């Protein structure tokens, strides 16, 4: 993010960052779940309750029962990849995004460094941000974020197309480290607590409309 970049209240942004030198920042499922828990707990004016983040909990999401009070930002979509992440976010109040991201990235870096005895910087500088001014870009970002995991099984799909669509869709249906399942399925996950979809335009009147949009970009 460039110095002097200013977020505006009630505006939408695409945030992203990766590991320094493109190193992996999520080495196992516990790492992914730690970051997801931070997306929820750090979205608060209160200090982070690290007691709710004990590694002994494993996949337990007791932390999502924590009363955060007023939140700093609204999150509309996200995806975690082995060496980077993407978040669709809305600024609720002055300084909300900056404070939220500092809490998340600092909290995760402390966890990672302690767990893996790593020293030095984990992330590649400050997070990057794109202001989604145009409506068409805001709508497209849902596809961009949720189709990111396709690169894991078909790295060159955007250039060469999808080799086997059924395998790609099965993979996406099993990829839990994004908000894809929250938009595709009617069943509400505990992880759905991270999102506030009502703060974003209602581009998808039905689950089918969401799936159709992703199919369009997969076939594009």
Domain residue ranges of the chain, discontinuous segments joined by +: 12-219
- Residue-wise pLDDT for 138-183, tens only, equals 999 999 999 999 999 999 999 999 999 999 999 999 999 999 999 9
Indicate the Cα dihedral angle 18, 20, 21, 24, nearest 10°: -60
Place domain 12-219 in its CATH homologous superfamily. Answer: Transposase IS200-like (3.30.70.1290)
Mean pLDDT score across all residues of the chain: 91
pLDDT band at 1 (very low <50, low <70, confident <90, very high): low
Pairwise CA distance, residues 205 & 212, whole Å: 12
- Residue-wise pLDDT for 78-115, tens only, equals 999 999 999 999 999 999 999 999 999 999 999 999 99
Pairwise CA distance, residues 63 & 79, whole Å: 20
- CB distance 138 to 14 below 8 Å: no
Any residues with CB less than 8 A from the CB of 183 and at least 6 apart, and which?
A: 77, 142, 146, 197, 204, 207, 210
pLDDT at 88: 98
Chain length of the chain: 220
Pairwise CA distance, residues 220 & 206, whole Å: 22
- CB distance 133 to 80 below 8 Å: no
Q: What do you get for the CA distance between the two ends of the chain, in Å?
A: 30
pLDDT at 206: 93
Indicate the Cα dihedral angle 175, 181, 184, 188, nearest 10°: 160
């Amino acid at each position: 993010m460039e110095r002097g970049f200013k977020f505006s209240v009630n505006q939408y942004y695409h945030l992203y960052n990766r590991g320094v030198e493109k190193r992996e920042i999520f080495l196992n499922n516990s790492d992914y779940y730690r970051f997801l828990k931070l997306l929820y707990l750090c979205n608060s004016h209160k200090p982070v309750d690290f007691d709710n983040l004990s590694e002994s909990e494993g996949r337990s999401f007791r932390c999502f029962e924590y009363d955060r009070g007023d939140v700093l930002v609204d999150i509309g979509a996200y995806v975690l990849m082995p060496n980077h992440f993407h978040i669709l976010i809305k600024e609720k109040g002055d300084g909300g995004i900056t404070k939220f991201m500092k809490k998340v990235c600092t909290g995760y870096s402390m966890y990672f460094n302690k767990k893996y005895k790593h020293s030095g910087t984990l992330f590649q500088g400050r997070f990057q941000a794109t202001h989604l001014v145009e409506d068409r870009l805001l709508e497209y970002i849902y596809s961009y974020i949720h189709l990111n995991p396709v690169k894991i099984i078909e790295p060159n799909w955007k250039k060469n197309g999808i080799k086997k669509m059924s395998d790609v869709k099965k993979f996406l249906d099993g990829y839990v480290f994004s908000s894809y399942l929250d938009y595709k399925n009617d069943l509400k996950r505990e992880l759905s607590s991270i999102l506030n979809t009502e703060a974003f335009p209602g581009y998808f009147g039905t689950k089918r409309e969401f799936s159709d949009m992703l199919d369009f970009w997969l076939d594009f």
